[in-house]
Amino acid sequence: MIQTTFPDREMMAELFAKMLWEIKAVHFNAAHPYKLASGMASPVYIDCRKLLSYPKIRSTIMDFAASTLLREAGFERFDCIAGGETAGIPFAALLADRLSLPMIYVRKQPKGHGKNAQIEGELKESARVLVIEDLTTAGGSMFKFIDAIRAAGATVDHGMALFYYDIFEDGALRFADGKVKLHYISTWRYVLSVARSERLFDDETLSSVEAFLNAPLEWSGKHGGVSQLG
């Protein structure tokens, strides 16, 4: 089924943020920061995998994703949708179905046995591929998948993250240098805005979260995490 309606971009971003709060996929804890895989200390944590467990929300987010891509990239821009292992795989399947396109998925590394495949499914040479993940911080993991697809002879000019941190300068630079246009629905700024407007946390917590979003590595360094990314 092709999505043919085009909601306002700000409305989609705000509604997505509200959905994340509604299903308790977002967590703020400035007093006891979360440790991320990068070693960063963070007062915020998000679990976009929970979207899959809520059919109405899941379907609406796929509407938003399709609308974003058709409007920003074009109607005949892609030959295939690729999901990154693991969280991107179900969303790739849902989006491929919504856009009536073939779907593949990409491992983080070759599986090490059998055909030693890193890409699963049929990828045609010179295919124009969209890579999708549930979220991206600065694009590091997405480019592992992009590089694998490009090495197989296909083209990747666009990527999609349902949720984009949008707080790291390195992220914008990585996508620009890699010649990939990143599409996304919502960011931490919208999540924080909803938390403020609906008074979900005390002012001190909200101020600390805003300080993190404005200077994440500085905040991390002051709270027991790394102060620079490797």
The answer to whether residues 104 and 82 touch, using CB atoms and an 8 Å cutoff, is: yes
Model confidence, pTM: 0.92
- Model pLDDT, residue 38: 77
pLDDT at position 147 over 80: yes
The answer to whether residues 76 and 58 touch, using CB atoms and an 8 Å cutoff, is: no
The full set of domains in the chain, from first to last, is 9-222 (3.40.50.2020)
- Distance, CA of 83 to CA of 121 (rounded, Å): 11
pLDDT at position 169 over 80: yes
Closest CA to 142 of 97, 71, 91: 91
Closest CA to 87 of 131, 120, 54, 123: 131
- Model pLDDT, residue 170: 84
- Distance, CA of 151 to CA of 109 (rounded, Å): 13
Summarize the confidence of residues 104-133 as an average pLDDT.
86
Summarize the confidence of residues 97-108 as an average pLDDT.
95
- Model pLDDT, residue 86: 92
